Amino acid sequence: MTLSTSSTTQHPAGISRLAPTAARAKIAIALAVMLIPLFGTVEAIRLLFAGQLTSLDLVLFILFYCIQMFGVSIGYHRYLAHRAFKTSRFFRSLLMVSGSMAAQGPILFWVTTHRRHHTYSDKPGDPHSPNLHGESRWQRLKGLWYAHMPWMLAPDMSSWSFFAKDVLRDRSLFFYNQTYLLAVSMTKCNT
């Protein structure tokens, strides 16, 4: 167990409580990640009903969705978090950039959160378990909601050195982590 630096509350190994300023920054970023796509969806629906969407818009939406989900599911999830396969540097670059384009967080955030989830699955320390909120129907619904959105607002952080030593040692993966916002901004400017 590691001891929180901000109080005497104990946290499972590899998890630390963020300082108030860092926690507020995390909340602001998480809210942007959650709300910007919501506003984009509302605008797309408005454009659809106004007859202003074209077939090109639909093709680009489907294309970018597939590229980004390919990057997240195969790149971030199977390749990085689970180390399920090996690949060439070129294909790895494609996976990392396309995963970053999905705006689900930099590589180190994604990998550490996912590995933490598997380490503490459905136990205290699991960052997004739907099963830790009680047994009643209402509590289970609350857990389901928490597992999809509010978990990103929690004032804690998964340790890079605990959950992702291998990523930290790999200079090219660290480069993709550090240039995450560049990939996100390129994507969002084109859509």
Residue 36 maps to a domain = yes
Considering the chain, what percentage of its residues have pLDDT values greater than 70? 93
In a domain, 5, yes or no: no
Sorting pLDDT into bands at 50, 70 and 90, what band is 185? confident
* Domain that includes residue 149, residue range: 13-190
95-113 pLDDT, tens digit per residue, is 999 999 999 999 999 999 9
Which pLDDT does position 189 carry in this prediction?
60
CA 94 to chain centre: 18
pLDDT at 65: 93
Q: What pLDDT, on the 0 to 100 scale, is given for residue 173? A: 95
Over residues 135-156, the pLDDT tens digits come to 999 999 999 999 999 999 999 9
- Predicted pLDDT at 4: 41
Asked if residue 68 belongs to a domain, the reply is yes
Instruction: Give a yes or no: residue 6 inside a domain.
Output: no
Residue 185 tokens read as 């901004």
DSSP 28-95: HHHHHHHHHHHHHHHHHHHHHHTT---HHHHHHHHHHHHHHHHIIIIIIIIIIIS------HHHHHHH
User: How confident is the model at residue 190, as a pLDDT?
Assistant: 52
Mean pLDDT score across all residues of the chain:
91
49 domain-assigned: yes
SS3 10: strand
- SS3 state of residue 155: coil
Which pLDDT band, with edges at 50, 70 and 90, does 5 fall under?
very low
Residue 2 forms part of a structural domain: no
This prediction's pTM: 0.87
Q: Is 8 among the domain residues?
A: no
Overall number of domains in the chain: 1
The pLDDT of residue 11 is 83
